[in-house]
Amino acid sequence: MTTTTKLTSAAHQREPGHPGRRGRPAKTHDNRTVRQFLAKFWDLHDLVTTFRGANDILTGVQLLRTAGNTSTRGLRLRSLYHVLRHLDDITVVAVQALFRGRYEDQTCQMYAEAARVASKALERFIVTLTAVDLARLRTTKLSGMQAVDAAYAADAAAAEALALAMGPKRRQDTLSSAPDFQSRLRKKWQDF
């Protein structure tokens, strides 16, 4: 009786471009456009507060993937954003390498599928952005910096008013007991 053995190992099957179990080539999606766009944002919160349409896309992909499937956990938006922000080509192997064994193979497949769908939708969203939207992005970042400046100025005014109300002796004690506040103010004004 002759037995046949499998000649390929699991490691060989995971090489890029190697046909899958059924002889199909591995699914891959070019994510460079979306990755370049997402590089402008610090994190997911920065993206969704600036462009609510991007939040709708990511949330829709997350809900679409988990709709009707109550046997598995839902996808995390931060992990989906992490995949979209860090991979040029979205494949299951690349997602597994990105997560470094934190998730099982099936979960990595779910993230790869969701990332492909989200990438296609975000790419269409990016193409439809107008110059007005991009100018709004720059203005939002500038207004955020102005809000930080206003908070520092308000802190300085409140500390000065408190120190003046306490009198000369206690004023020196109060200002010397807050070196962190003084160093923040000093550093802030040195940057100007």
Q: How confident is the model at residue 83 (pLDDT cuts 50, 70, 90)?
A: very high
For 180, other C-beta atoms within 10 Å of its C-beta total 8
- Encode pLDDT of 123-148 as tens digits: 988 888 766 676 766 666 555 555 55
With a CB cutoff of 8 Å and minimum separation 6, the contacts of 108 are: 92, 95, 96, 99
**Contacts of 50-57 spanning 24+ positions with Cβ under 8 A:** 50/136, 50/137, 50/140, 51/125, 51/133, 51/137, 53/125, 54/122, 54/125, 57/118, 57/121, 57/122, 57/125
Q: What is the value of pTM for the model shown?
A: 0.57
Task: Kindly state the tokens that stand for 179.
Answer: 């070196």
- Specify the higher pLDDT residue, 15 or 192: 15
What does the pLDDT read at residue 3?
Answer: 42
Predicted confidence band at 119 (pLDDT cuts at 50, 70, 90)?
very high
Round to whole Å and give the CA distance between 20 and 12: 11
Residue 54 CB neighbours (<10 A): 23
Mean pLDDT within 32-43: 88
Which DSSP helix (H) or strand (E) runs through 30?
strand 29-30
pLDDT higher for 178 or 107? 107
